Amino acid sequence: MQHTDVETGRRATGRVVMLVDNNVDDDSRVQKAARSAAERGWDVVLLGRASTQPRTWMIGNAEVRLLPMTPTLGKRRHEFRRRWLIAPLAYPPTGVAARRAADIKAWRADLALRRKSVAVLGQHLSRPDRAVLRAEATAAKVTGKWISLRTRQLKFGQRMRNHLTLPTDRLYTAFWQKLYGNRAWRRLEPGLWDYEFAYGKAIDGLAPDLIHANDFRMLGVGARAITRARAAGRDVKLVWDAHEFLPGVQSWQNNRRWLPANLAHEREYAPYADAVITVSETLAELLQQTHKLPRRPDVVLNAPDIDHAVTAEPPAESRAG
């Protein structure tokens, strides 16, 4: 596809693959970037993450594709195990706690129905039958308390471990930071690989000339994609669009590993970017200092697009309700 660069006036040919870690619908910056690049003649494919089902639509002349992503590595190993030391009575985190709670609820409902059925049918319970009902009611009550205790233990253990603040958790984090440096995210936040598995094959299949990676998670996906392309003999450029200053961001997950892991990931892949753009002059300065960038990032403001009264128009099913 031929296009004219608005700054140089040169004719060029190329495909841009834009990457974003959301469903595109509510990201006006990404929508405007995709539309603008397509209007200037680029063949634009915007890859986003599907909230539910994969879908495709157009933003102007830019194609949007939402990809499914299974967060397989996003779930940590300890989430599959019991916390024997801090919650020895807890159920295993397999869903059995909910099943046992449902079992006891059904048992109590059956006992209540049996009592009422006798009255409805005009019958009288014999003394042995009444004794059996009382014994079952007592057993159901005791069992219910036991199930509640084990369920509370499960929730307590999950809450304690999910914050990753135990001494063993802090030691684990420090060990891998010391051993791996910027590569430590592979141990601290392995769920970042899930983005690679969701996007990588699609990017390679599109054979882009330019990859526009939005924000820190997509930076790694884009960097690995250009590495594969260049190893195959194709000269692909990477633009990193930094939306925020990651060191100043509050962790998106309530645990102590999320921020250091994502900082390491960003530091590892920032040098792969052929160009960096961002949202403000202050952030441009901070990014250049933090990553020792050879030149100051260009600033593209999150400003309203006055040339288009109507923004992206997703498919009808996404607007339903």
> 203-222 as b/e, with b when 16 or more CB fall inside 10 Å?
beebebbbbbbbbbbbbbbb
Average pLDDT over residues 208-224: 97
Q: Who contacts 43 (Cβ-Cβ below 8 Å, separation ≥6)?
A: 1, 14, 15, 16
Report which of 283, 244, 282 is spatially closest to residue 266, judged by C-alpha positions: 244
pTM above 0.85? no
φ/ψ of 249, rounded to 5, equals -90, 140
- Please tell me the distance from the alpha carbon of residue 243 to that of residue 302, in angstroms, as a whole number: 9
Element at 28 (helix H, strand E): helix 28-39
Q: Who contacts 73 (Cβ-Cβ below 8 Å, separation ≥6)?
A: 190, 191, 192, 193, 194
Residue bearing the bigger pLDDT, 189 or 306: 189
pLDDT band at 182 (very low <50, low <70, confident <90, very high): very high
Domain boundaries 2-74+189-319, CATH class: alpha beta
Average pLDDT over residues 262-285: 97
- Please tell me the distance from the alpha carbon of residue 136 to that of residue 134, in angstroms, as a whole number: 5
pLDDT at 160: 66
Average pLDDT over residues 299-309: 71
Residue 76 amino acid letter: R
pLDDT band at 112 (very low <50, low <70, confident <90, very high): confident
pLDDT band at 304 (very low <50, low <70, confident <90, very high): low
> 89-110 as b/e, with b when 16 or more CB fall inside 10 Å?
ebbebeeebeebbeebeebbee
pLDDT at 79: 61
pLDDT at 259: 94
For residue 212, CA distances in Å to 28, 138, 229, 230, 308 come to 15, 65, 15, 16, 22
Residue 50 amino acid letter: A
Q: What percent of the chain has pLDDT over 90?
A: 58
In angstroms, how far is the first alpha carbon of the chain from the final one? 38
Query: Token pair for residue 17?
Result: 């693959």
Sequence spans of domains, the chain: 2-74+189-319, 77-163
Residue 318 has pLDDT above 90, yes or no: no
pLDDT at 161: 63
φ/ψ of 206, rounded to 5, equals -80, -15
pLDDT at 3: 40
Residue 41 amino acid letter: G
- Please tell me the distance from the alpha carbon of residue 36 to that of residue 34, in angstroms, as a whole number: 6
